[in-house]
Structure 1
Amino acid sequence: MIPRPVRETGGDRVTVRRILLSEGVTAFGDGLWFSMWAVYLTTIQGVPAASVGVAMGIGGGIGLLVALPIGTLTDRLGAREVLLTVTALRALFSLAFLALHSFWPLLVAAALFTSMETAAKGTKVAFVYLLMPEGACMPVLARARVVQHLLYAAGAGGAAWVLSRSAAGPYHAAVVVNSLTFAASAAVLARLPHVPPAPAARRPAGTAALRNLPFVAVMSSTALLALCWALLSSGLPLWLKDDTAAPVWIAPLAVLVSSLLIALFQIRVTRSGERLVGAVRSSRRAGLALAGCCLVFAAAAWPTSPLVACLLVLGGLCLHVVGELYYVAARWGLSLSLMAPGAQGQYQAVAATTEGAVVAVGPALVTTLVTGADGAGWGALALVFLLCCLPVARLCGPAVRRAAGEAGGVRERSGA
């Protein structure tokens, strides 16, 4: 295994602050762009709405395929260098949206942009893992997610102002600002310490992560829990509008409340997944909570009182927050604990790709299940959340037993 760096406490604080700053400026740009891209591309750039959906969907799917080769490069060239390059390319590719007005250029731009976005997620986790001392990776990732939620909300607030304008200038300026956030993030990353790549003699083949079928199975099954984001952003607003007595404005309020609660509790809940056995348990808790959330949302269609319907929706939201918190903790814990030494980049690329695929199809899948099914769609989603966690314990069993044996061996040697 690549030895972890040992640093003074003050140096760690500086490093962590720079990681959080890099994450924060990127999150602001993401919140700005993802809150306005549909209106920008259709209204300002004149691309037909149907073409936008198809181009962004296909382009995003193509972009997911690039993450694994970039993960392999991370192991060969160094995590900081690859993350810096990917972030700089995100700045460049985001500007492409300024110059397109038809389907094919949009598809290419979406593929390029999504490929760098997905690659950045996996490479960032691998970089933080290799950069931080033992046991510090997940707490830092949790703090970064808190910063991400807060700055994403700020970016969405900026997008709200842009969307209130009728002139094209503010929209184009917002695209440029989004690009500048990636450039600023890259500048911060350049000041972080270099992490040497794994020596060639100790580096697995570039397809090692894909050939580790239990790892791929764990990442693929738990990735289905990422449907929780589409559930809140796509499914709930339509359900409120068409099938409940609750007002539709509860949906954006639910997103805001969810973000605040995530920011408050993510660091605490993440501790539950730091060990592999805890990560397995967290995945089970996530599935149960999200399944319960679906059933409570479905029940919100029964009362005719708007107040009672709102209370049910808020109850479902609380379960959703619990599920999302434990999902993130489980995802980090599983992917970090099951990685092979010297192949952190490609393993995290597999994790990012499986999650990215679910995120890409999530809105369409959730919308299809929720609309016009009289609550049965929520039941189907609840079943998905329950079933996707069932194989995790069995698939992780050998690794859990191995970790327990190693821990027992350490205790025996210490006692000796």
Structure 2
Amino acid sequence: MKKRGIVPLLLAGQAVNGFGDGLWFSVWAIFFTRIQHIPAESMGLAIGIGGVAGFLAAMPVGTAADRYGPREVLVAVIALRGLASIAYIFAGDFWSLLVVSCCFSAVQSSGVGVRVSLVYQLLGKDDQLRVLAQGRVVQHIAYAAGAGVAMLVLADGSRSVFVASILVNAATFFITAVITLALPSVPSVPVERQRSGTEALRDLPYVGLMSTTALLALCWALLSSGLPLWIAEGTEAPLWTAGLAVALSSLAIALFQVRVSGRAVNIPRSVRASRVSAVALAGCCLLFAAAAWAHQALLATLVIVVGMAAHIVGELYYVSSRWGLSLGFMVKEAEGQYQGLTASTEAGTTALGPALVTSLVSGLREVGWVVLALVFLLSAAPVGSLARRALRDSRRVWWTDRAGEKEALS
């Protein structure tokens, strides 16, 4: 299949999957607490532990992608996610929700790395970052559409409509699996060249790079947990400002992700992108803290909007640098395993992020925002030295066509 046929299928899968995600993640909290009558504390604990399962599963599934082919493993993962989403209908207490959440999160996090590995192996170097960025744009637009449908579900409020929305979400996974199956199959790594299942874990420079930059993924917890809580408890800004922040973020991703990702096409630029992200996210935290000192609603809202502009820059550059570093520093014939490790580090931050951000913002208020700013700055500090160390290994993907970049990192 030619590239002209591959890219539309990849983007179509992202669109269908994004619609389902937007629908589900907009209704799940209300479904579990008001329809299934699970206490909010129990629900949060079950979902959080499920996130840990995602952290643990991503790398083994990535290794399986190397051994059995990324397309085949991705199809299985997507289909299993559909089945797990249906199982949510029958989760009526903490323990059943915990089991289903672990299964759902395991395949959700695993699929992220396998998909990046598939894109890498299907497309040439010049198209990989562009298509990954286009996929994120399409996914966010579809996500917004799914969230719009979720508003109708929430307005109705009946159990039957909630269950119907869950079945629609499950259907999107099965449709995505069929679309993915239409992509060309990528040959698995021959048995004699298969690498150890712990190859990526023993690659300390890569582990260091992915672990430190994964802290920048706290930007999502800032937007989903920290900022709404801060607006309600710490500022004079109206509550609808939190919704405005999400809308601005989605619009900016749709407009600028492809352009920004084009600036992370090699290792030095990816390193610089991680630093830009860290500085922008640190600035956003300081601006959010400053909103508490604005005693007029309009002024507080304006400060938060300026902070959101910094947040958007940080998120765009984080995603771009993450792709550039993870793809450039992979070891050939272990792409799935390396992307699984990348996904697992991000899954860990995503799982623990809401609790960390909420604790800092609620407990320490402005000081908590300053602590978060320092976390962002410190996360990018070792990236350059880790990248230079990683460049000593000639097995990496960048070696054959990116020679000379080592000097650019000094």
1:58-92 superposed Cα distances (whole Å, 9 cap, x missing partner): 12212321111111110000010000111111111
- 2:192 aligned to 173, 193, 201, which one? 201
SS at match of 2:183: coil
SS at match of 2:364: coil
1:227-274 superposed Cα distances (whole Å, 9 cap, x missing partner): 001101111111111111211111111101110011100000001111
Matched, 1:37 2:35: no
Alignment-derived partner of residue 209 in structure 2: 218
Instruction: Please report the TM-score for the alignment, with normalisation by the length of structure 2.
Output: 0.95
Alignment-derived partner of residue 314 in structure 1: 305
Matched, 1:267 2:262: no
Structure 1 residue 408, shift from structure 2 partner: 5.5
Query: What is the identity, as a one-letter code, of the residue corresponding to 1:259?
Result: S
Matched, 1:179 2:167: no
Alignment-derived partner of residue 148 in structure 1: 139
Unaligned runs of 5+ in 1: 1-6, 411-416
Matched, 1:121 2:112: yes
Alignment-derived partner of residue 58 in structure 1: 49
Matched, 1:369 2:360: yes
What CA distance in whole angstroms lies between the structure 1 residues aligned with 2:83 and 2:400? 49
Structure 1 residue 134, shift from structure 2 partner: 2.6
Structure 1 residue 409, shift from structure 2 partner: 8.1
Structure 1 residue 388, shift from structure 2 partner: 0.4
Identical residues among aligned pairs (%)? 50
What CA distance in whole angstroms lies between the structure 2 residues aligned with 1:377 and 1:240? 14
Contact 2:51 2:350 in 1 (8 A): no
- 1:239 aligned to 226, 230, 245, which one? 230
Q: How do 1:57-136 residues align onto structure 2 when only pairs under 5 Å count?
A: 57-136=48-127
Go from structure 1 to structure 2 and tell me whether the alpha carbon gap of 1:408 and 1:343 turns closer, same or farther (over 3 Å shift).
Answer: closer
What CA distance in whole angstroms lies between the structure 1 residues aligned with 2:150 and 2:90? 20
What CA distance in whole angstroms lies between the structure 1 residues aligned with 2:88 and 2:399? 51
- 1:380 aligned to 366, 371, 394, which one? 371
What CA distance in whole angstroms lies between the structure 2 residues aligned with 1:343 and 1:221? 21
Contact 2:285 2:369 in 1 (8 A): yes
Structure 1 residue 407, shift from structure 2 partner: 4.6
- 2:220 aligned to 207, 225, 229, which one? 229
- 1:287 aligned to 250, 262, 278, which one? 278
Contact 1:290 1:385 in 2 (8 A): yes
Alignment-derived partner of residue 335 in structure 1: 326
Go from structure 1 to structure 2 and tell me whether the alpha carbon gap of 1:260 and 1:408 turns closer, same or farther (over 3 Å shift).
Answer: closer
Structure 1 residue 400, shift from structure 2 partner: 4.6
What CA distance in whole angstroms lies between the structure 2 residues aligned with 1:407 and 1:234? 40
1:83-119 superposed Cα distances (whole Å, 9 cap, x missing partner): 0111111111110011121111111100100000001
SS at match of 2:238: coil
Matched, 1:297 2:288: yes
Query: What is the identity, as a one-letter code, of the residue corresponding to 1:137?
Result: Q
Contact 2:80 2:107 in 1 (8 A): yes
Query: What is the identity, as a one-letter code, of the residue corresponding to 1:319?
Result: A
Go from structure 1 to structure 2 and tell me whether the alpha carbon gap of 1:294 and 1:147 turns closer, same or farther (over 3 Å shift).
Answer: same
What CA distance in whole angstroms lies between the structure 2 residues aligned with 1:409 and 1:250? 47
Matched, 1:27 2:22: no
Contact 2:54 2:347 in 1 (8 A): no
Alignment-derived partner of residue 391 in structure 1: 382
Alignment-derived partner of residue 158 in structure 1: 149
What CA distance in whole angstroms lies between the structure 1 residues aligned with 2:256 and 2:54? 32
What CA distance in whole angstroms lies between the structure 2 residues aligned with 1:189 and 1:404? 30
1:332-351 superposed Cα distances (whole Å, 9 cap, x missing partner): 00100110000000100011
What CA distance in whole angstroms lies between the structure 1 residues aligned with 2:47 and 2:295? 39
SS at match of 1:342: coil
What CA distance in whole angstroms lies between the structure 1 residues aligned with 2:346 and 2:95? 26
